[in-house]
Amino acid sequence: MKKLLSILLLLFTSLTLFAQNNDIEMADQLRNNGKIYIVVICIVIILAGLLFYLFSLDKRLKLLEKKSDRKN
């Protein structure tokens, strides 16, 4: 069992070494699957920006509502 594990480990490390030698490109995670995750990141950025913006607008509105409450 131990032997098998060590062999597997060796194999695995050699495989990763092999992969490292072949692949020069870095940040491989984001380049998988035809870089589709870049698109995801961009969509998330746009959504986050707009949502953040909505929250700031909301805050302004809240202030306004408070003010108008005080007046009434």
Partner 1 sequence: MYKTWWKILAAALVVYTAIAGLLLEVPRLAILNETIRNLYFHVPMWFAMVVLFTISVWYSVKSLGTQKEEYDIKAVESANAGIIFGVLGIVTGAVWAKFTWGQFWSFDPKQNFAAISLLLYFAYFILRNAIDEEQKRAKIAAIYNIFAFPMMVVLLFVLPRLQDSLHPGNGGNPGFNSYDLDSRMRMVFYPACLGWIIIGYWIYTLRLRIKTIENSQL
- Nearer to partner 1 by C-beta: 11 or 43? 43
- Nearer to partner 1 by C-beta: 17 or 46? 46
DSSP 26: -
Here the tokens at position 47 are 């959504």
- Nearer to partner 1 by C-beta: 2 or 71? 71
Cα angle value 9/13/16 (rounded, 5°): 140
The tally of CA atoms less than 13 A away on the side-chain side of residue 57 is 6
Q: Is 5 helix (H, G, I), strand (E, B) or coil?
A: helix
Binding site for partner 1 (CB under 8 A): 27, 30-31, 33-36, 38-39, 41-43, 45-46, 49-50, 53, 57, 60-61, 64, 67-68, 71
In whole angstroms, the minimum distance from the beta carbon of 54 to partner 1 comes to 9
